[in-house]
Amino acid sequence: MLRLPFVLDASSRISPPDNPQLTVEMAYLPTLSINRYRTGRGIIRYEVQCWMDELAKIVGMMTRTSNIQFKPPIKIELELIAQDKRHPDIHNLHKVVADGISLGLEIDDKHFLFEDKSVIIGENPRLIITVRERKAGKLQLKVLSKS
């Protein structure tokens, strides 16, 4: 039996086929912040490594069982439910989430674009992670040249 104590809920949406989506609800740990996820020696904390491994396993299982194939670029939306106002900036969680999803999807995290949705104060601290393909054509790059 597979035990994933940090995974609270998971769902996938396959339709429409050109826009698959995964949503995973994970327990929030204060040590997930980029400022605190490594020890003083630069080693990833044990509980953070377990959290990332669980995220990778659930994302990998969901894509295989739902037969979802994500193609870069990938959009990742984060929503944090925190117990009180003492929570990290949500962008400080990007590295840990990206590492876990990257392992699960087997896609380099350089293809990820994060969108921070909201921070809600409530009970049962958790992080809601939504993964979907980012539609091409929405990003416009402007090259400025010196005259």
Query: pLDDT tens track of the chain, all 147 residues?
Result: 456 777 877 776 665 667 788 999 999 888 887 777 777 777 888 888 889 999 999 999 988 888 888 889 999 999 999 888 877 788 888 999 999 999 999 999 999 999 999 889 988 889 999 999 887 555 555 566 665
E strand intervals along the chain: 7-13, 21-27, 74-82, 112-121, 126-133
pLDDT at 91: 85
pLDDT at 46: 85
Nearest to 130 by CA among 26, 3, 15, 18: 26
CA–CA separation, 127 vs 125, rounded Å? 7
pLDDT at 1: 42
Provide the CATH topology of domain 7-133.
60s Ribosomal Protein L30; Chain: A; (3.30.1330)
